[in-house]
Chain A
């Protein structure tokens, strides 16, 4: 097959750039551990309370160590369950100090949802039967909107919470 000389140069340049790009992606993923979330941890969607993390008392924000937090969330149509406060009202706003390490664990008893701390890389699909989890460091102070970004039904756009990173 005949290939024009200039086209050869063009393809060699393009393919080399592509190889470098993929090596960088691979380096990030396998050596620096920046894979997207994929733990494959399963759960019975009809009995999520059987898992300790999703029992009513353990929902929402828990401090587990110096600058270490866990946030357990049940996503269901059309609500994020972050537990309740002392008065028994549902928590819709959580506060985390800047620089803390936070592990988000989310599951759903019903349909597919999204979990995105808007404007950050905390962006996960939440699917019945699986626990979605992602550990991150929150370094930029401010108020973030947690939005469901996968269609889950007529009330999809009313499914949100807020997260504040304070200094």
Chain B
């Protein structure tokens, strides 16, 4: 490899964020927290319905609120928060021009229009197709058009991020790009390449078919394109959490970045191995060749490597920092971590949740073992540990400093304490809810299903107790959401004025230099595309060549 070393750019790591920039970043974060409230309420209602003790009023259908829950939390909250966080990191490290800011506003409004279109169709009961919108269930065309707008808006936002880094590199020739900007660029690349799949499905298949221009749809092709997007989607959620773990947490605990090049390496590996793996969501499908399923299973497991690298880096940072501060003994460094600082505690709980979360993921992707858990509520339990604990608690951890930094306020000791209470409530609620989901999933209880006694079988009656536990956990979680909304409103509008730190860790003075090949974007993109072509070309051609007759749209099953 080319071993030319890059210079460091310490001076540019911390640019001021101006008022108009703050307004832009906060707009994205506002949408995220409004979504949290609405989506969280839907989640609460779902657990109550499934307990069998509560029925939805005014003829509202369970699957309608389930669609709201999935779309608004899985697609809206995450995407908006992540874009806001991305821009804050870019603004802080490489800066944003006025023109770039204007284009980002355009992206924001395109996304908002799309979100409103989609939300309206769901609220009118015209799109109870859940967030996976599997054909041949047909939603109102505006549902798909709205989704397409959200994706297109997010692309524009990503293009601006790339432009920001490009302009910065022009101004700083030969200088290593800031780690934060590098990570954001990886994640936006991941998002762009992955969402091409779902965009193709929506634009080429769903929109013409839902409008009646195309008579039938190729169901398996649409599912394959969806899952080409659906798995990298979860890494698009996870990588911003990793950014906080690699960049922010070391600073909060008073340490340095463990290894700049390892952090970059792990992000590059996530880019490689998060996309050519969608078949592991389709393992029990009849129309996909089993050998190719297995190949994608193997590729899926490659993400274990960057995950191991990350786990090592984090705990190494904890230990090195503790020892430097003079905490001796085998675990002195661990005892003296800043447990009373919510900016650390909330993401730390997120890291812990990723241990069972990751282990569950290994089970899910395990070719044969998948049949034990596929589409059982175990899977729901799994992603409530990963995205709804690991990712969201880290996002909350980010919120505690990012929001006051942007609004010119302070995280007061009282709010910090409330934040700690929030993190504990979340942990308790999620342990109960996700734990119950995992256990009863192993007994075979299905996900995505309203309350049912299944004709009164003994098996199904055993599930109901666990559904009650889910309702208890869901209620606790909703209290956690209300508390989080309160903290967010406080930090945005009412906390005392002041300056909150934007914590980004630096490298050690004597850190090993980062190799120059990390800046070789063409190489990373080429390898990513080569892996995708390898994993998908033959099975995709096979799917198309051996296609059954297409499917006409079905409206009646979703009550249209």
Contacts and interface: CB of A to CB of B under 8 A. Distances in A.
Interface in B215-272: 219-220, 223, 259, 261-262, 265
B447 interface: yes
A110 B136 contact: yes
Interface string B350-386: 0000000000000000111011101110000000000
Nearest to B552: A46
A25 B368 contact: yes
B446 A147 contact: yes
Interface stretch (A55-63, A65-73, A118-126): A118-126
B287 A77 contact: no
Given A1-B265, A11-B308, A157 B449 contact: yes
Contacts of B100: none
B290 A148 contact: no
Interface string A138-165: 0000011101111111111110101000
Interface stretch (B172-180, B292-300, B396-404, B499-507): B292-300
Contact of A121 (B223, B308, B372): B372
B446 A153 contact: no
A150 B368 contact: no
Contact of B284 (A6, A44, A123, A160): A123
Given A25-B368, A123-B284, A154 B559 contact: yes
Contact of A92 (B304, B309, B455): B455
B159 interface: no
B367 A36 contact: yes
B545 to A, nearest CB: 11
Given A36-B284, A38-B293, A153-B558, A114 B368 contact: no
Contacts, number: 239
Contact of A10 (B135, B308, B370): B308
Interface stretch (B90-98, B410-418, B426-434, B457-465): B457-465
Interface size class of A (residues with CB under 8 A): 35 or more
Contacts of A88: none
A22 B457 CA distance: 38
A127 B217 CA distance: 12
Nearest to A110: B554
B259 A156 contact: no
B512 interface: yes
A130 B286 contact: yes
A22 B548 contact: no
A1 to B, nearest CB: 5
Interface in B440-496: 443-452, 454-455, 457-460
B529 interface: no
Interface in B273-316: 282-290, 293-294, 297-298, 301, 304-305, 308-309, 312-313, 316
A97 to B, nearest CB: 20
A114 B134 CA distance: 13
A45 B218 CA distance: 12
Contacts of B316: 4, 6-7
B455 A160 contact: yes
B286 A154 contact: no
Interface string B108-145: 00000000000000000000101000111100000000
B63 A154 contact: yes
Interface residues of B, number: 78
B515 interface: yes
Contacts of A42: 287, 546-548
B20 interface: no
A149 B301 contact: no
Contacts of A118: 443-446, 459-460
B452 A160 contact: yes
A38 B301 CA distance: 21
B55 interface: no
A129 B450 contact: no
A94 interface: no
B480 to A, nearest CB: 27
A123 B374 contact: yes
A35 interface: yes
A157 B452 contact: yes
A29 B558 contact: no
Interface string A71-84: 00000011000000
B451 A157 contact: yes
Given A3-B262, A29-B290, A111 B284 contact: no
B8 interface: no
Given A1-B261, A111-B554, A130-B548, 20 more contacts: A18-B304, A25-B294, A26-B294, A26-B298, A35-B290, A35-B368, A36-B367, A77-B557, A111-B557, A118-B445, A128-B136, A129-B551, A130-B220, A131-B286, A145-B454, A147-B446, A149-B374, A152-B137, A153-B128, A162-B455
Interface of A: 1-4, 6-7, 10-11, 14-15, 18, 21-22, 25-26, 28-30, 34-46, 77-78, 92, 110-112, 114, 116-133, 143-145, 147-158, 160, 162
18 contacts: A3-B262, A6-B312, A14-B308, A18-B301, A22-B301, A28-B367, A34-B368, A38-B285, A77-B557, A112-B137, A114-B375, A116-B376, A129-B550, A145-B457, A149-B449, A153-B556, A153-B559, A162-B457
A-B pairs, 8 with minimum CB distance:
A153-B557, A118-B444, A129-B548, A149-B446, A157-B452, A42-B548, A149-B375, A2-B512
Interface of B: 61-63, 128, 130, 134-137, 219-220, 223, 259, 261-262, 265, 282-290, 293-294, 297-298, 301, 304-305, 308-309, 312-313, 316, 366-368, 370-372, 374-376, 443-452, 454-455, 457-460, 512, 514-515, 542, 546-552, 554, 556-559
